[in-house]
Amino acid sequence: MPRVRSSRTPRRLGPEAERRVRRHFALRGYRILAANVWIAGYELDLVVRRGRRLLVCEGKSKGGERYGHPAGTVTPEKGRPFTSRICPAAAAVW
Query: Which CATH number goes with the domain that contains 17?
Result: 3.40.1350.10
Q: Three-class SS of residue 40?
A: coil
Encode pLDDT of 45-91 as tens digits: 888 999 988 888 777 666 667 777 766 766 777 666 666 666 676 66
**How far is the C-alpha of 52 from the C-alpha of 84, rounded, in Å?**
20
Residue 3 domain-assigned (yes or no): no
Query: Do the beta carbons of residue 74 and residue 58 sit within 8 Å?
Result: yes
| Domain encompassing residue 30 | 10-93
Residue 51 domain-assigned (yes or no): yes
- Give the chain's domain count: 1
User: What pLDDT is attached to residue 3?
Assistant: 47
**What does the mean pLDDT of the chain come to?**
76
Helix (H) or strand (E) run with residue 21 in it:
helix 10-27
- Please state the rounded mean pLDDT for residues 14-19: 80
